[in-house]
Amino acid sequence: MRRTSLATFFLIALFLNGCFLWTNREEGETLKQDVQHLKDRLVQVENENEEDRQRLTEMIERARTEVVNLEETLTRATRILARNSADFGAEMETLKDKMRTVDGSLAEIEHEIGLIGTRVDNTDRKVNEFALAAGLDLPVDESKVPAKARDHFSMIRDSLAAGRYGEVRSLAKLYIQRYPKDGKADDAQLMIGKSYLEQKRWAKALGALRRFTDRYPRSPLTPEVLYEMAVAFYKLGVCTDARILLDAVTSRYKSSPFAKKASKLQADINNNKARCTS
């Protein structure tokens, strides 16, 4: 570009010098000034072009430097990603191994829990069987008790016949709670008293039978209840209270089958006064 500018300058100069031959003095001076102005202008243009070219060169160099830096950055990033990927893969494999180990341990724990649960269930069953055989009262599992009153009552009666006295009391109490106005609620209360009598737990039997008289004073089962109370008093040696109850049965409920039993028990008391404490 510099060569082109100089050649243009020389052509203009030659043209203008040739023109001097055909001009007067005043015109020549004017023409010289114009030529000088053109020279100055060409130098200015040349300098401006050089500055532009220099700026462009610097911009290109900066761009090249930035590209090189970017390439280096990308290279480092790629290496880091590759290394991190490898590390991550190794960590994942380690984690998988640990998870497999944990899964195995959990399986063993679940197996042990199952065995323990079975042993606990067997132990609970044996304890319940022993407690029931001993006549101890245990909480009843309501989910295993029939929903219908008739079936529930049959379950109480069967338990009494089988000698599961603790179960009798639990079932009977639940029955009274479920069906307080049922026609057999008084019978359920009586069976609680009978369960204690069968175990020779005379004081407990008296408590249950007294609750019967409080709750069901007009029950047709009253003669039997009074007779059983008399039995319990006699076994405790409290013969005076036993006689009072027996007299009530023989006088008030003469038509009851328990009137005859009451008379027989009165005779037994009179023949065994030594065991009476009152």
Q: Please determine, for residue 50, whether its predicted confidence score (pLDDT) is greater than 60.
A: yes
pLDDT higher at 54 or 135:
54
- Radius of gyration for the chain, computed over Cα atoms and rounded to the nearest angstrom: 61
Q: Please determine, for residue 4, whether its predicted confidence score (pLDDT) is greater than 50.
A: no
Residue ranges of E strands in the chain: none
Question: Is residue 223 a contact partner of residue 253, using CB atoms and an 8 Å limit?
Answer: yes
Q: What integer pLDDT is reported at residue 181 of this predicted model?
A: 93
The one-letter code for the residue type at 71 is: E
Structure tokens at 28: 């020549």
Tell me the C-alpha distance between 8 and 12, whole Å: 6
Q: What integer pLDDT is reported at residue 35 of this predicted model?
A: 59
pLDDT higher at 110 or 222:
222
Q: Is 34 exposed, middle or buried (0-12, 13-18, 19+ CB in 10 A)?
A: exposed
Q: Please determine, for residue 63, whether its predicted confidence score (pLDDT) is greater than 90.
A: no
Query: What is the number of structural domains in the chain?
Result: 2
Q: What integer pLDDT is reported at residue 145 of this predicted model?
A: 92
Q: Please determine, for residue 32, whether its predicted confidence score (pLDDT) is greater than 80.
A: no
Asked if residue 108 belongs to a domain, the reply is no
Residue % of the chain over a pLDDT of 70: 64
Asked if residue 232 belongs to a domain, the reply is yes
Domain end, chosen from 79, 107, 127, is at 79
Q: What integer pLDDT is reported at residue 70 of this predicted model?
A: 73
Q: Please determine, for residue 173, whether its predicted confidence score (pLDDT) is greater than 50.
A: yes
Domain end, chosen from 12, 47, 79, is at 79
Q: Please determine, for residue 209, whether its predicted confidence score (pLDDT) is greater than 70.
A: yes
Task: State the chain's mean pLDDT as an integer.
Answer: 79
Of 241, 258, 259, the C-alpha closest to 250 is: 259
H/E element, 5: helix 2-20
Asked if residue 104 belongs to a domain, the reply is no
Poorest-confidence range of 76-80, 143-147, 232-236?
76-80
Q: Please determine, for residue 184, whether its predicted confidence score (pLDDT) is greater than 80.
A: yes
pLDDT higher at 233 or 10:
233
Q: Mind giving me the DSSP string for 43-108?
A: HHHHHHHHHHHHHHHHHHHHHHHHHHHHHHHHHHHHHHHHHHHHHHHHHHHHHHHHHHHHHHHHHH
Asked if residue 214 belongs to a domain, the reply is no
pLDDT one-digit tens code per residue, 240-276: 999 999 999 999 999 999 999 999 999 999 999 888 9
- What's the N-to-C CA distance of the chain in angstroms? 148
The Cβ-side half-sphere exposure at 147, using a 13 Å CA radius, reads 1
Asked if residue 122 belongs to a domain, the reply is no
Q: What integer pLDDT is reported at residue 170 of this predicted model?
A: 93
Asked if residue 263 belongs to a domain, the reply is yes
Parent domain of 258: 220-278
The one-letter code for the residue type at 138 is: L
SS3 110: helix
| Cα–Cα separations (whole angstroms), residue 67 to 54, 60, 62 | 20, 10, 9
pLDDT one-digit tens code per residue, 115-126: 766 766 666 556
pLDDT band at 238 (very low <50, low <70, confident <90, very high): very high
Q: The whole model's pTM is what?
A: 0.55
Domain end, chosen from 79, 99, 134, is at 79
Asked if residue 73 belongs to a domain, the reply is yes
Asked if residue 10 belongs to a domain, the reply is yes
The Cβ-side half-sphere exposure at 12, using a 13 Å CA radius, reads 16
